[in-house]
Each structure stands twice: as structure tokens, then as C-alpha cells.
Structure 1
Amino acid sequence: MMAILVAALMWSLVLILMLRAKQRPDNTLLWSAGVIAVSMTTNIELIYLWASTWLPPNALDLWANLLLVVGVGYLASAIRRGASAAGMAREGEANRTRAAAVVTILVMVLAFSRIDAPEPSTTFMLDYGDQLAAGLYSAVQYVFIGGVMLGTLATCVRNVPRMIQPRFRIGFTLTGAGCAAALALCLSVVIMDVSHVAGQLELMRSLGYVYDYLFVATMGLLCGGLSVPPLVRQVQVMQRLRKIRAIEPEVHRLWTATVAQTPSVSLVGSGRHVRTSPSRGPSQATERLHRMVVEIHDCLNVHGEAADRVSSADWKHLQDAETLCLRKGDAS
């Protein structure tokens, strides 16, 4: 059940990130979420056992964990690129992360090849974790993940106080909390690996209960934190578009009463052209509204007598439209 919940969280994050993928200049975060989502999906028991019928025994466990390492590496890259927008990119750190990921993958593959695991198991480490190779296979993976989460936590702590927009402050705060939970998770896994190999089964089992809660908390906080900025942004875009569509008819009416009477100052054509051009998105709607506002002002400046046809309500609509246009970049 836990595997299904975590997979659902990851795929929900993927869908949320896809909402504005075309407008986003860098989709590293989307790709990392997709890779991790695939990894989490393979942990679902029915999928794992089905794949085991045509793959070598427990090969899917190796592939799932390799995907997790790659996905976490992409995640670190996404956070770093987000920080680079504020001039804080660290290319040396990126190179070290890539090198560490390669070394981790090589050690995992070599260790997995030494594990004696002839039968498929959905509880791979519980069944075969007493072997030294299995302990190394798991521990090196979580040491890498812990290191990446530590760096990501440092990025969040460093940047949250500097953030102006609430959606980023909330998102990075939740992401930082998820990284902190991930550090505790990685530490518990490494201790469980060592205690299993050493035969300290009581310690391993007691930490197993903590692991379950930490795993869900980590994934929930990380998915929540990474979802907040794009979700809030999408809500802002929808609210903005709704306001534009509500005020545009009033501005168009004023445009018709002023600019349309002197089409030489128009940039958008006749009144009929403006009326019938559909707004396919907030950018196009804002651009068209902005052009009408500018042309109305130009018309009033050039033809002062046109101001006599502008009522106080019209001025209010014009000011509201100007405010919407000026706030175009607030939610970016």
C-alpha cells in the first residue's frame, strides 16, 4: 500500500509539472520527477512480480534503484539551476554530483552481481540483506542520496530568506523539510544495512518502523514542496485570465468609441478585427488588452475631444486594465 501511495505522489508531481512545461525554460525537474516516479512504480508488488517472470531474478530491484540514483541526481541539478537564476550556480558541485552518481552506480552494479538472490522477492533487503554485498549495494545508494539531499537542504536554507514571492518561500521551505526527512531516512537505512549484516536484527526491525514513516514523510514533503510553485502559478494565470476576460469587453467598448473613430492610431486593426480575434492564452489576452489601453491613451492625447466620450466608469475600467497589464510579471 505504501508503494502505491508513494508512486501516486510522484506521478501527481509529474502531472503538475507538466502543466507549464512548454512555458518553462528548463524542465530538468520534470524529467527527474518522471525518472523517480518510474522507480517508485516498480516497487508495487504486482508490477514487480509480473516483471520478474521475464527478467532475471530481482533485476528489477537493481534497475529501480539505479533509476532512483539518476533521478535524485537530476533533482539536485534542477535545484542548482534554480539557484543559478540568482547567480549562485556552482559548476564544481554539479561535476562532483555527476562523478559521485557514476561511482555509486558502478559500486551498486558490482555489489548486486555478488548477491546470492535466486528467488524474486518484493522484500529484497529483508530477505537478502544479511549478505555483505547486499548491505553495500543498499548503503552506497543511500549515502549518495543523503549527500545530495544535504546539498539541496543547504540550497533551500540559503535561498528561502531571499525569496520575495510566497509561492517560492513556501515551496522551498517544504522542500527543505523533505530534504531533512530524507537525511534521517538515509541514516536509518544505512544503520539498518549495517545492523542486518552484523546480525543485530532487533535494531534493524525497530528502525524499520521508523523507516516507513520517514519514507512517506520524505516523499510527501518533497512532492508538496516542488508542487507548490507551479500549482500556485497556474492558479494565478487562471485568475488573471478570468479578470482579463471580464474587463476586456468594457475596454473594447471604450476602444470602439475612441480609437475606432480614428483608426490611424490603431496597431491592432479595425474594431471588428479586435472583437473576433480569440485569446488563446493569458499572454495573448494581456498583449491585446495592453495594446488597446495604449491606443486609447494615444487617441485621447492626440484627439482631446474624444475624452468627452469617456465616463468616470470608463476611466475606472481603463485604470483596472492598466493595473492588470502592469502586473504581468508579478507571478512569473
Structure 2
Amino acid sequence: MIQDIAAAVIWCLALCLLPDIKRRKDQSILAAAITIATALTLNVDRIYIAGDQLLGNRNLLDLVANIFMVIGIYFLSRAILRAADVSETVDIHNRVGQSVLGIVVVALIVSFSLVDAPRTSTSFMRDYGSQWPAAVYSGVQFLYIGAVVAITGFTCFRFRGEMAKPYFRVAFVFIGLGCALAVVLVLAVLGMDVLHLMGELEAMSRLSYVYDAAEVGAMVFLCVGLALPPVARRLERRSDARAAAVLVEQLSEPWDRITSERSELRLNLTQTAIDRRDAPKRRLHRMLVEIQDALFVDPHLAQLLSQNDLDVLRKAEEYLGARLAGPEHRGTRLPGNGGMNP
């Protein structure tokens, strides 16, 4: 049941990220969500049993799922670290991270091949964890996950204050808390592995409750933190579009008066009313430019503008100026923000 909940939460995150796939230049966070969700889905009992039968009933699907998990954790960490730290050292860390990931995958394959697991088991470590190769198999995976999420969580808390928008700062706090719970999960797993080797099955069973709670908590906090920026950004874009549409309507009359004698250069509202989210903003920008050009060519046209018209022009200039300037903080780089730029 825990695996079902965790997988569903991650798939929900992937669905939240899909609408902005064309706007994002870096797809690491989407790759992470899909990969981790796939790993968790493969561990759902009924799916695991059916899949492992196709692979010869040797628990190969457990190996496949765990490889997907460490790859997903790598992509997750890379996306968050890129968002938080824009320095050139991030690319160097990525190359090191890829090398470490390769070593971890090889270690998983080698240690798994040494485990005597003759039949399909939906509780692989509970059934075979008394073997040293199985303990190494689990330890390699979770030591890697623990190290990666610890670095990621520390980075989130370190850079959260530098995010431009409040929802980015909140998102980084949620992600940091999710990473902290993931570290608790890792410690619980390592503890269970040691207890299993020692034959302390009752203590291992009690510690499994900590693992279950930490897994659900980590997934929820991480998914909320990662889903918040794209959802908030989409709402922000809709609000911007509505504000621009209102200004277009208010500016239409003075624009018509000022540009009526320059019809060859006027904006064709019908042609520009395309089905795009930023269409109102583009129309507003074009109308403002045409008014300014007309006033530059013939300053006397300013007499046709009332005080209310001037107020609308000022609002339009302030609106476009604020959005064209763009935030200078790192908040525009958070994964899932519909792109690397505002």
C-alpha cells in the first residue's frame, strides 16, 4: 500500500510538469519524476510479480527498479542543484555525479548477482537480507541516495533566501524537508540491514514503521515542493494575461484616436488575436509602441489624449516595463518553472 501511495504521488508530480514541457530547456526534473515513479510502480506487488515472471522469476525486476531509482535520484539532484547554484562548478559536479552514478549501477549489478534469490519475492530484503551480498546491494543503493539527498537538501536551505519569488522560497523549504525525511529513510534502511544480519528480526520490524512513514513523508514534501513552482507560474501567467487584456481594452480608444491617420502602420487586432497565452501582452506592447511612434512623429497629437488616457498609458508602460525587466534572482531557474527564463 505504501508503494502504491508513493508511486501515485510521483506520477501526479509528472502530470503537473507535463503542460510546461515545451517551455523548459532542462527536462531533468521531468526525467527524475518519471524515472522514480517507474521505479516505485515496478515495486507494487501485483506489477512486480507479473513483471518478474516475464524475467524468469529471479527478482531481476528488483534490480531494474533500483537502477531506475538511483538514476531518478541523480536527475532530481541535478535539476535542483542547477536551480539553486548557477556557478560553473555545477557542470563539473554533474560530470563527477555521472561517474559516481555509473559506479553505483555497476556495484548494484555485481552485488545482486551474488545474492541467492531463487524465487520471486515482493519483500526482497526481508527474505534475502540475511545474506551479506544482499546487505551490500541495499547499502550501496541507499548510501548513494542518502549522500545525494543530503547534499541537495543542504543546498535548498542554503539558497532558499536568494529566490526571487515567495513561492520559490516555499518550494525550496518543502524540497529541503523532503530531503531531510529521505535521509531518515536511508538511515532506517541501513539500520534494518544491520539488524537483519544480526538476526534481530523483531527490532528490524519495528524500524520498518519509521521507514514507511519517512518514505511517504519524503515523497509528499518533495512532490509538493517540485510541483509548486510550475503550478504557481501558470497561475501567474494567467493573471498577467488577464491584466494585459484589461489594459488592451482601456488603451484601444486612445490608440485608435492617435493612430487613425497612420493606418498603414496600425496593428491588425484580428490577425494578432492568436491563440497564445501571451497574445494580450504582445498586443498591448504593439499598441503602446504605435502610440509612442505617432507622438514622436507628430507631438501635437498629444492634445487628443485626456488625463485618463495618460494614466492608462503610464499603467501600460509600468506593466510592460516590470515584465520585460525580469527578476534578477535565481528564482527564475527553479525546475518546473516553465523554462529557465521568465
TM-score by shorter chain over 0.5: yes
| Aligned counterparts of 1:10 and 1:253: Cα–Cα separation in 2 | 50
| Aligned counterparts of 2:103 and 2:263: Cα–Cα separation in 1 | 68
**2:335 paired residue number:** none
Which runs of 5 or more residues in structure 1 are unaligned? none
Letter in 2 for 1:13: L
| Aligned counterparts of 1:155 and 1:54: Cα–Cα separation in 2 | 42
* C-alpha contact 2:108 2:140 (8 A) present in aligned 1: yes
Deviations 1:27-49, CA, capped at 9 Å, x for gaps: 11111111111111112222112
| Aligned counterparts of 1:154 and 1:243: Cα–Cα separation in 2 | 38
**1:203 paired residue number:** 203
| Aligned counterparts of 2:314 and 2:270: Cα–Cα separation in 1 | 21
**1:6 paired residue number:** 6
| Aligned counterparts of 1:253 and 1:158: Cα–Cα separation in 2 | 51
- Indicate yes or no: 2:80 matched with 1:79: yes
Deviations 1:284-322, CA, capped at 9 Å, x for gaps: 432231121122123234333433332333333323322
Alignment of 1:176-215 (within 5 A): 176-215=176-215
**Mean Cα deviation higher: 185-194 or 310-319:** 310-319
Q: Any runs of at least 4 consecutive aligned residues in structure 1 with deviations exceeding 6 A, and if so which?
A: none
3-state SS of paired residue (1:327): helix
- Indicate yes or no: 2:298 matched with 1:303: yes
- Indicate yes or no: 2:272 matched with 1:277: yes
Deviations 1:247-296, CA, capped at 9 Å, x for gaps: 323323322221132246x3xxx45x223422332444322311211221
3-state SS of paired residue (2:260): helix
Following TM superposition, by how much is the alpha carbon of 1:12 offset from its aligned partner in structure 2, in angstroms?
A: 1.3
- Indicate yes or no: 2:139 matched with 1:139: yes
Alignment of 1:1-332 (within 5 A): 1-57=1-57, 58-85=59-86, 87=87, 89-263=89-263, 266=265, 270-271=266-267, 273-328=268-323, 329-330=326-327, 332=342
Distance change >3 Å, CA 281–CA 238, structure 1 → 2:
same
* C-alpha contact 1:171 1:226 (8 A) present in aligned 2: yes
Following TM superposition, by how much is the alpha carbon of 1:220 offset from its aligned partner in structure 2, in angstroms?
A: 0.8
* C-alpha contact 2:115 2:133 (8 A) present in aligned 1: yes
**Mean Cα deviation higher: 316-325 or 187-196:** 316-325
Letter in 2 for 1:186: V
| Aligned counterparts of 2:322 and 2:21: Cα–Cα separation in 1 | 22
TM-score scaled by structure 1?
A: 0.91
Letter in 1 for 2:292: H
Distance change >3 Å, CA 133–CA 288, structure 1 → 2:
same
RMSD value over aligned CA atoms?
Answer: 1.9
Q: What percentage of residue pairs aligned between the two structures are identical? A: 34
Letter in 1 for 2:74: G
| Aligned counterparts of 2:160 and 2:226: Cα–Cα separation in 1 | 14
* C-alpha contact 1:174 1:225 (8 A) present in aligned 2: yes
3-state SS of paired residue (2:119): coil
Deviations 1:214-251, CA, capped at 9 Å, x for gaps: 00011111111111111111110111112222332332
| Aligned counterparts of 1:251 and 1:308: Cα–Cα separation in 2 | 16
* C-alpha contact 1:279 1:285 (8 A) present in aligned 2: no
* C-alpha contact 1:52 1:60 (8 A) present in aligned 2: yes
| Aligned counterparts of 1:278 and 1:302: Cα–Cα separation in 2 | 27
* C-alpha contact 2:272 2:283 (8 A) present in aligned 1: no
3-state SS of paired residue (2:63): helix
* C-alpha contact 2:73 2:145 (8 A) present in aligned 1: yes
Letter in 1 for 2:311: K
* C-alpha contact 2:245 2:281 (8 A) present in aligned 1: no
Following TM superposition, by how much is the alpha carbon of 1:69 offset from its aligned partner in structure 2, in angstroms?
A: 0.6
Deviations 1:135-156, CA, capped at 9 Å, x for gaps: 1111110000001011112211
* C-alpha contact 1:83 1:89 (8 A) present in aligned 2: no
Following TM superposition, by how much is the alpha carbon of 1:186 offset from its aligned partner in structure 2, in angstroms?
A: 0.5
| Aligned counterparts of 1:284 and 1:89: Cα–Cα separation in 2 | 38
